Amino acid sequence: MTTMNTTTKDRVLQRLEAHKGSFVSGGKLASDLGVTRNSVWKAIRALQTEGYDIESVTGRGYRLSAASTILSAASIQHYVTDHRIVVEYHDSIDSTNTRCKLLAEHGAPEGTFVVANCQTAGRGRQGRPFYSPKGAGIYFSLLLRPSFELEDVSLLTTYAACVTACAIEEVFGLQPQIKWVNDIFCSGHKVCGILTEAQFSAESHAVSYVVVGIGVNIAEPKGGYPEQIADVAQALTSGDEQDEDRRAQLAARVADLFMQDYARVPEKPFLDDYRKRSLLDGRTVTVYTGTGSFEATVIGVNDDLTLKVRLADGSTTDLVHGEVHIPSSQL
């Protein structure tokens, strides 16, 4: 586990990641980090024990193999370009959202980025469990402290969908689509889920913080997906081969893209991209509400991000919320 209290080992790894494939002298590492050379040596030994391919050559220093792909805070931070983003990595955690909210309550700054290889109690919308097996996906939560009006906070979820779809396209070369409101699909199957949670001040009624949680299926889990989601879920890559480097790249790219434009979210700069990626336009869907269900044909996404549909009698209505399902024959 790498937490916000960064250890010497973590800092050494960050420096080696920054110079991956090149030698860095023990003296320079010690000087840059303000520690002794013996502390650096101990950190190197600990990292080697954890499986990092670090070469040690007298007179040249230490070199992290360019082929090293172990997922870590350093490997993710290596790809991050926004200085506000600080990665905290866990090999296993109950929930990245739960951890991120705890950090927020203790004053963690905007840009705190909790990433995990596995979640034991991952959550989706409406309290549903989110399947988060080790080595098969990447699961992360970003802490925000927006100055938005309350009514604009919900836009962060749709913005997150656009940002994540764009990052998947860049890193994996795929063409993700978005199923209203925020599910990301590739080739007719769900590859990503998003859960946004906000905390409001009881006194000022302003937003205290927002945590945006995102889980992406990268590779098929060993044994496949559980029966209850097997027909819907899919991974970005075929087979169960882990790709640690692209997992690190994807997490970093989502965080970077999110922070780039998020202050302008109330202006909806992402609306055109959201519409272009819409999976539902022109499809006949089943809409589930709290009291029943009905069939409708999707016309498109409105400016306020509600979904305009045509009912069986020819009339139209705008959906503010609800679950929309597409028949498997249309996927």
| 174 and 322 within one domain | no
Is pTM beyond 0.85? Reply is yes
Same domain, 163 and 207: yes
Q: How far is CA 292 from the centre of its chain?
A: 33
Residue 3 lies in a domain: no
Biggest alpha carbon–alpha carbon distance for the chain = 81
CB 263 within 8 A of CB 213: no
Of 45, 64, 83, the residue that ends a domain is 64
> Is 132 within the bounds of a domain?
yes
Distances (CA, A) of 134 to 61, 220, 242: 34, 11, 10
Strand partners, 317: 309
Q: How many domains does the chain have?
A: 3
Task: Give me the domain span that covers residue 119.
Answer: 73-276
* Same domain for 302 and 228: no
Cα→Cα distances 267→21, 235, 301, Å: 43, 33, 16
213 & 192 share domain: yes
> Residue 239: what pLDDT?
65
pLDDT score, position 178: 97
Q: Are both 169 and 210 inside the same structural domain? A: yes
* 198 within domain boundaries: yes
- Same-domain pairing of 203 and 229: yes
Q: How many Cβ atoms from other residues are within 10 Å of residue 14's Cβ? A: 19
Per run of 10 residues, the mean pLDDT along the chain (length 331 residues) is 67 89 94 94 90 91 86 92 96 96 97 96 83 93 94 95 98 96 94 94 85 96 87 83 83 98 96 97 92 94 97 96 82 63
pLDDT of residue 329: 67
Rounded-to-integer distance, Cα 250 and Cα 252, Å? 5
In a domain, 42, yes or no: yes
Q: Which residues pair with 195 in a beta bridge?
A: 213
Task: Please tell me whether residues 264 and 301 are part of one structural domain.
Answer: no
Same domain, 52 and 197: no
What Å distances lie between residue 288 and 116, 238, 252, 321, CA to CA? 32, 32, 35, 9
> What is the per-residue pLDDT for 254?
98
Distance CA 163, CA 260 (A): 10
The verdict on 108 and 196 lying in the same domain is: yes
**302 and 270 in a common domain:** no
Question: What is the rounded CA–CA span in Å between residue 124 and residue 131?
Answer: 9
CA-closest candidate to residue 301, choices 283, 327, 326: 283
